[in-house]
Amino acid sequence: MADILSGLESMGLGGLSNVDLFHDKAKTPAPKKEPEKKEEKKTIEEKDLLYDRNVECNCCGYTFKEKTIRMGKARMVFQDMDLRPRYDDIDSLKYNITACPKCGYAALTKEFSRLSYGQARMIKEKISINFTGLKTDCETYSYDDAISRSKLALVNSVVKKGKVSERAYICLTLGWLTRGKSEAITENTPNRAMFTKQLAEEENEYLKKAAEGFTEALQKESFPICGLDEYTFFYLLAALNYETGNYKDSLKYVEKILINRALSDRIKDKARRIKDAIAEISESNL
């Protein structure tokens, strides 16, 4: 090695002339990396997912602003047994009713523009004449706001003689909203147990009405009903009847699903879970 590194003496480095070029006796410690700064997750508020869109009322012609969820901003993460959708950072159900603050016409947003002249006349005669206005000066809708708006849509559907399935779906929405309101009650709320019990009873009544209406719709309407195909609709009826304690009818719709060999395992597995849950309840009552 002395030959390779000869000449180092002239620079005062003669002591390094015999170093091993390739076999380090001790590894030089790697320089310490600066700890990576973790980006703090930005808190998303409900109002950040909304915007005001202009809507013209087909009943009275008034143009108003309606709170609407921004397309692609809300992400659905799962569904409850009865198909209630669950989204990150927002409950979309609070924003599925469009309501005119001037004349009181209200409907599911997807149905709002479908209003005949005769229906508009009935709404004006039975609703608008007594309507006193609607709260609009808020950044977001509370559960109480959403429930009031849904009730207004329900009475509109009755007055205008809307489809039975439309009324049933609004009842279902009211049940879901009542569930959401109950879930939003904090642990330290005074009389929490009393409130949650009352809301559970209200939810049960809404779900019973929804099941009743959907059962009637089966006799009067063709599929798709409320956007659901036949067997998804049967599953919904199975779930609603199970949740409201009507196990006989629930099993009737479960069997309609399980005997169909053409259906996917996904919907059959969901139906089996209802069947198993009913079996467990029956065994516990023996």
DSSP state letters, the chain: -TTTTTTGGGGT-GGGTT--SS--SSPPPPPPPPPPPPPPPPPPPGGGGEEEEEEE-TTT--EEEEEEEPTTTS-EEEE-TT--EEESSS-GGGGSEEE-TTT--EEEGGGTT---HHHHHHHIIIIITT--------SS--HHHHHHHHHHHHHHHHHTT--HHHHHHHHHHHHHHHHHHHHTS-TT-TTHHHHHHHHHHHHHHHHHHHHHHHHHHHHH-PSSBTTB-HHHHHHHHHHHHHHTT-HHHHHHHHHHHHT-TTS-HHHHHHHHHHHHHHHHHHHHT-
Q: Give dist(CA 199, CA 176) in Å, integer.
A: 11
- Per-residue pLDDT tens for 19-41? 554 344 555 555 565 666 656 55
Q: What is the mean pLDDT of residues 144-164?
A: 97
Q: What is the pLDDT of residue 255?
A: 98
Task: Read off the pLDDT of each residue in 94-99 and give the average, rounded to a whole number.
Answer: 98
- 60 within a domain of the structure (yes/no): yes
pLDDT of residue 21: 47
**What is the distance between the alpha carbons of residues 193 and 161, in angstroms, rounded to a whole number?**
38
Instruction: Tell me if 10 is assigned to some domain.
Output: no
Which residues span the domain enclosing 217?
46-228
Task: Mark whether 127 and 204 lie in a shared domain.
Answer: yes
- 121, 207: one domain: yes
d(CA 68, CA 55): 11
Query: Which of 51-65, 68-82, 91-105, 198-212 has the least mean pLDDT?
Result: 68-82
248 shares a domain with 197: no
Q: Which of 180, 200, 228 is the last residue of a domain?
A: 228
**Considering its fold, how many domains does the chain have in total?**
2
Query: Please, which pLDDT band fits residue 4 given cuts at 50, 70 and 90?
Result: very low
* Same domain (yes/no): 163, 234: no
Cα separation, 95 vs 78, whole angstroms: 18
The verdict on 164 and 70 lying in the same domain is yes
Q: What does the pLDDT average to over 88-99?
A: 96
Whether 165 maps to a domain, the answer reads yes
Per-residue model confidence (pLDDT) at position 10:
47
Q: Supply φ then ψ for residue 54, to 5 degrees.
A: -85, 135
> Which tokens belong to 15?
């002591």
Please give the average per-residue pLDDT across 182-187, as a whole number: 96
**Residue 214 sits in the same domain as residue 239:** no
CB of 108 within 8 A of CB of 68?
no
Judgement on whether residues 50 and 159 belong to the same structural domain of the protein? yes
pLDDT of residue 7: 46
pLDDT of residue 137: 85
Q: Mean of the pLDDT values across residues 118-129?
A: 97
**Residue 167 forms part of a structural domain:** yes
Distance of CA 171 to the CA centre of its chain: 16
Highest mean pLDDT among 19-23, 32-36, 185-189, 211-215: 211-215
Long-range contacts of 31-40 (CB under 8 A, 24+ apart): none
pLDDT of the residue at 178: 98
Global pTM value: 0.84
Q: What are the structure tokens assigned to 155, written together? A: 């009475």
Tell me: do 136 and 161 sit in the same domain: yes
The answer to the question of residue 272 being in a domain is: yes
Length of the chain: 286
- Does a structural domain hold residue 51? yes
pLDDT of residue 131: 96
Please give the Cα distance from 208 to 215 (Å, whole number): 11
- Predicted confidence at residue 118, as pLDDT, reads 98
Q: Last residue of some domain: 180, 211, 228?
A: 228
Q: How confident is the model at residue 282 (pLDDT cuts 50, 70, 90)?
A: confident
pLDDT of residue 276: 97
Q: Is there a domain that residue 251 lies in?
A: yes
Q: Are residues 178 and 257 in the same domain?
A: no
Residues 214 and 267 in one domain: no
Q: Can you give the pLDDT at residue 144?
A: 96
| Together in a domain, 216 and 234 | no
Kindly state whether residue 263 falls inside one of the protein's structural domains: yes
Q: Which of 202, 228, 254 is the last residue of a domain?
A: 228
Same domain, 211 and 252: no
- pLDDT for residue 40: 59
Which pLDDT score is estimated for 73?
A: 85
User: What mean pLDDT, rounded, does the chain reach?
Assistant: 89
